[in-house]
Amino acid sequence: MLPIEAIYEKLVAQLQQHNTVLLQAPPGAGKSTWLPLNLMKNNCFKHIVMLEPRRLAARNIAQFLAQQQNEALGHSIGLRIRNEVAVSEHTRLEIVTEGVLTKMLQSDPELTGIDLLIFDEFHERSLAADTALAFALETQGVFRDDLKILVMSATLDSTRYQAFLDCPVVASDGRSYPVSEIYQPLRDEAKWLEAMPSLVLNALQQQTGSALVFLPGKREINFLYQSLADKVSADTQVVTLFGEQDKATQQAAIAPAKDGLRKVVLTTNVAETSLTIEGIRIVVDSGKRRAAQFNLKTGVTELVTVSISRSSAVQRAGRAGRVEAGIVYRLGSHEQFERRDKHDVPEILSSDIASLVLEAKVWGSEVEQLPLLDVPSSGALQQAHSLLSMLEATDETGKVTELGRKMHQFGTEPRLAHMLLKATALEADSPGISHLACYLVALLESRASGSPELRVALQSQFEKPQKSFTQSLRPWLKRLKISERSMLSCEYLSLLVALAFPDRLAKRRGQGFVLANGAGVNSHETHWLDCDYLAIASLGGHKGQRIFSATELNVSLLQQTLPHLFEEKDMCEFDEKAERFIHEQRLQLGALVIESKPSTKTLDVQARTQAWLNLVAKHGLTLFNDYQQVQPLLNRMTLAQRFYPEEFANLDEAALLNRIEDWLAPYLVDIKKLVELKKLDLTSAIKGLLDWHQQQRLDEILPPRIQVPSGSNIKIEYPLQGPAKLSVRMQEVYGLLASPVLCNGKLPLLMELLSPAHRPLQLTQDLAHFWQTSYKDVQKEMKGRYPKHFWPDDPATAQATNKVKSRM
């Protein structure tokens, strides 16, 4: 009996009484297979759609459930994933993934005929799942008050999710079989990969059964595969499993080992959830994963190797307890494990969200208006809006264009959709450009190895394509109804890169390049050494400044074909080296100056003011002399918004720079020299953003200073993390019965009590408790060290002083 069976009746009852329910069920409970199948078989719901975050898991769950029904896939059990659909008029339970549910909602917001949505393994917090849930909640609230939503996971952050969804939680018992743990400490964290072969071999020698080995990516899998090849025994088969493999290879990897053999499956977190591999009772966990980290400065999503969270580690370990008692070998100490984050950072906070912004606009909303568990930062939203504008997906008012709607329906990320659609439109004047576009998309999607020079890499795939490249290429040729050609029209290559990555067009500057978005990147070690302009397709590495793939940019062709990317501007800048204003007429491609000549217009106040604003935006507020004096005010304003968002807008430093024209421009009208700018009264300028009432309120809840019983006004420090801090000599707070209260108790105050020589004696957030307890020990020591100072027996009632005893 599966654990999920014990709570089945309770869950059904909750779904009948409530529109939304959370289910928490550890690995092996049967939540992804037994539960949806029985909800269908028992006619609890007419049509169920279950969202799986991974294609491999979705396909295997669908095939398993169809087998349980003794049916072919596509009858009562359906599957919808990218490039693979198996549904019919008889389908009552659909397994979907890869944003399919979002497309279903966009095409039919009422979800006609569907009465239950299941979000499986929601803890993975993919961008597609967050988007689909937000749309589903709006559908439920506006169109379908009868629509049921079941959110389930093995490691739900139940308290937070329950508060967000305002719904009941149903919890299942633990996994079917126990899993014991063995930790392998590391001497050098940087050499974790070199430690993996011996850890796997030890596990195989000490245990019986097959093993599942978790690694961050394909590169590490290949390393371990080569390391184990001639070291495992003859009865052990080593196989690999990752997302880019074809379906047949994946199915072979998860198939049971043959009689008399054991299997070692080297995999990524593609096997972390909703996947049972028969015979696995050993898990070897590297504790690493590949995570997307979006670089706002370069506009690049970088894949970096990071430590997994504790919840992910629990998921991985659960793979060992699916069919019998198992064991997990974890690389690293138990202490390191306990220091990991509780949950992984969701994609919505760490990835490019341009696709989400476009989805929301097509839905008829803005991201900020959607019911989202986590809201992206203002910087991420601003970057996404800027990119969509460059891709012609939105107009100057921010509304979706007709091209933007076509991009949304195209089934790939906005950048590539824009390139393919525009290439199709340009085919008549540029024969072969659509064919070349399909090749470029396939190269980028498959990540097929090759030269950093895109022309060389594409020609190589044209002449001798890799298997992964061909698998990606065929659907796009079919989609655009293009036949293979006898040659590639590479003369249009930089134009295609510009269509997909207009923010990554680059001009040489010094020893590197500057991008159209204003960020700087490094020159490549061996390629494009003499090129003045580049069209860059792939960036990454340290701070996203390394060029992975690019080609020389044909600026003239680009200007003829995509004139909307260029803009003529009358620009005024302050040259810091020459200490003078430069006033020019420029042809610009984003931040790139293509041509310039002296302006014929008069340098007026408006132009000069804009030059100062640009200079401040470049350097930040540190440009001003009194920045250090302003920092405490900025921290207080940030904290005020955190604790009282209904009263205070976000006015942290990033927000101030984003709206710099609103508050700083009036103070720049009469400034003509850099030295005058640096001396500007920044405090007054920033305070001007608060009305009189807000300024009074800020001083009330977060006073810059506080008067202590001695009469002194002592400054309070306000760090953005942790409690506020008041450093004061102990004699000056005698008679104070309790610690001062900030923000009506929302922000704790740490009192640092000092000696007469201003050295720390005690840290406390509860002054009354300190007077009653530890003070006696401090008094004994201080009487001998500072006999001229007052050390009363009852400090809570004694007179405060800032003088020695003889002058009191």
Specify the DSSP class assigned to residue 449: -
Please choose, from the candidates 434, 528, 552, the residue with its C-alpha nearest in 3D space to the C-alpha of residue 488.
434
Transcribe 708-730 into DSSP letters: -TTS-EEEEE--SSS-EEEEEEG
Quick check: is 215 in a domain?
yes
Q: Give yes or no for a contact between 339 and 300, defined as CB atoms under 8 angstroms apart.
A: no
Cα–Cα distance measured from residue 568 to residue 588, given in angstroms and rounded to the nearest whole number: 6
- Is the four-CA dihedral 418, 421, 423, 426 of positive or negative sign? negative
Structural domain contains residue 576: no
pLDDT of residue 255: 78
Please choose, from the candidates 162, 161, 167, 108, the residue with its C-alpha nearest in 3D space to the C-alpha of residue 136: 108
Based on the domain organization, do 45 and 113 belong to the same domain?
A: yes
Among 22-31, 427-436, 765-774, the range scoring the smallest mean pLDDT is 22-31
H helix intervals, 453-595: 454-463, 467-479, 493-500, 555-561
Residues 441-473 have pLDDT tens digits of: 999 988 887 899 999 999 999 999 988 899 889
Whether residues 687 and 717 fall in one domain: no
Q: Which residues contact 602 (CB under 8 A, 6 or more apart)?
A: none
pLDDT band of 273, cuts 50, 70, 90: low
pLDDT digits (tens, 9 = 90+) for 209-225: 888 999 998 889 999 99
Q: Indicate whether 48 and 151 sit together in one domain.
A: yes
DSSP annotation string for 102-130 = HHHHHH-TT-TT--EEEETTGGG--HHHH
- Domain annotation covers residue 392: no
Structure tokens at 602: 């008069």
Domain assignment present for residue 205? The answer is yes
More confident residue, 244 or 676: 676
Name the domain boundary from 542, 560, 578. Answer: 560
Q: The pTM is what?
A: 0.74
Phi, psi dihedrals of residue 173, rounded to the nearest 5°: -65, 180
CA–CA separation, 231 and 299 (whole Å): 44
Q: Is residue 391 part of a domain?
A: no
> Domain boundary residue among 537, 560, 583?
560
Low-confidence winner among 132-136, 257-261, 623-627, 707-711 (lowest mean pLDDT): 257-261
Of the CA atoms within 13 Å of residue 672, those in its CB half-sphere come to 4
| Residue written as token pair 């008549």 | 428
Q: How sure is the predictor about 271, in pLDDT bands with cuts at 50, 70 and 90?
A: low
Q: 15 with 161, same domain? A: yes
Q: Which two tokens stand for residue 419?
A: 């390139």
**For residue 487, is it within any domain?**
yes
The secondary structure element, H or E, covering residue 390 is helix 378-390
* Rounded mean pLDDT, 652-659: 83
**pLDDT score at 174:** 60
- Angle at CA of residue 368, ends 366 and 372, nearest 5°: 110
Domain for residue 597, yes or no? no
Structure tokens at 297: 């400065």
pLDDT score of 392: 92
Q: In Å, what is the CA distance from 17 to each residue of 11, 168, 294?
A: 10, 10, 41
94 shares its domain with 164: yes
In tens, the pLDDT along 72-101 reads 999 999 999 887 899 999 999 999 986 889
Q: Each residue of 358-384: b (16+ CB within 10 Å) or e?
A: bbbbbbeeebeebebbeebeeebbebb
Model pLDDT for residues 532-572, shown as the tens digit of each residue: 999 999 988 777 788 999 999 999 999 988 888 898 888 87
The 10s digit of each residue's pLDDT in 656-698 is: 888 888 889 888 888 888 888 899 888 988 988 899 999 999 9
The whole-number pLDDT of residue 458 equals: 94
CA 642 to chain centre: 21
- Rounded CA-CA distance 708/736 in Å is 8
Rounded to whole angstroms, the Cα distance separating 505 from 153 reads: 42
Residues 146 and 104 in one domain: yes
Run of H or E residues at 540: strand 533-540
Check whether residue 463 and residue 542 sit in a common domain: yes
Q: Which two tokens stand for residue 395?
A: 């107009």
Which residue reads 């014929």 in tokens? 600
How far is residue 729's CA from residue 387's CA, in Å, rounded to a whole number?
Answer: 55
pLDDT score at 320:
82
How many residues are there in the chain? 808
Find the DSSP H helices in 341-377: 354-363
Which residue range forms the structural domain that includes residue 644? 622-700
Any idea what DSSP says for residue 688? T
CA atoms of 703 and 747, how far apart (whole Å)? 12
How far from 568 is each of 571, 577, 602, CA to CA, in Å?
A: 9, 26, 17
- Residue 536 near residue 551 (C-beta atoms within 8 A): no
* Torsion of Cα atoms, 679 then 680 then 683 then 688, to 10°: 180
Q: What is the pLDDT of residue 350?
A: 87
Would 194 be classed as within a structural domain?
yes
Q: Which two tokens stand for residue 522?
A: 């490094």
**Whether residue 319 sits in one domain with residue 210:** yes
Distance CA 799, CA 807 (A): 13
**What pLDDT, in 10s, does the model give residues 158-189?**
678 888 888 999 988 765 678 899 999 988 88
- Quick one: 637 exposed, middle or buried, by C-beta within 10 A (0-12, 13-18, 19+)? buried
pLDDT at 272: 63
Same domain, 223 and 288: yes
In this structure, the answer to whether residues 680 and 748 fall within a common structural domain is no
Collapse the DSSP code of 325 into the 3-class scheme (helix H, G, I; strand E, B; otherwise coil) and give the result: coil
pLDDT, average across residues 109-124: 91
What whole-number distance in Å separates Cα of residue 282 and Cα of residue 212?
6
- State which of 700, 719, 741 marks the end of a domain: 700
Which residues, in sequence order, are bridge partners of residue 326?
179
Say if CB 79 and CB 94 are below 8 A apart.
Answer: yes
Return the structure tokens found at 186: 């590391």
User: How many of the other CB atoms lie within 10 Å of CB of 487?
Assistant: 10
Whether residue 745 is found in the same domain as residue 690: no
Write the pLDDT tens digit of every residue in 568-595.
Answer: 888 878 888 877 888 888 899 988 999 8
Q: pLDDT value at position 196?
A: 93
- For tokens 């030059």, name the residue: 611
Are 627 and 687 members of one domain?
yes
Tokens representing 673? 């020299």
Task: Count how many domains the chain has.
Answer: 5
Q: SS3 for 500?
A: helix
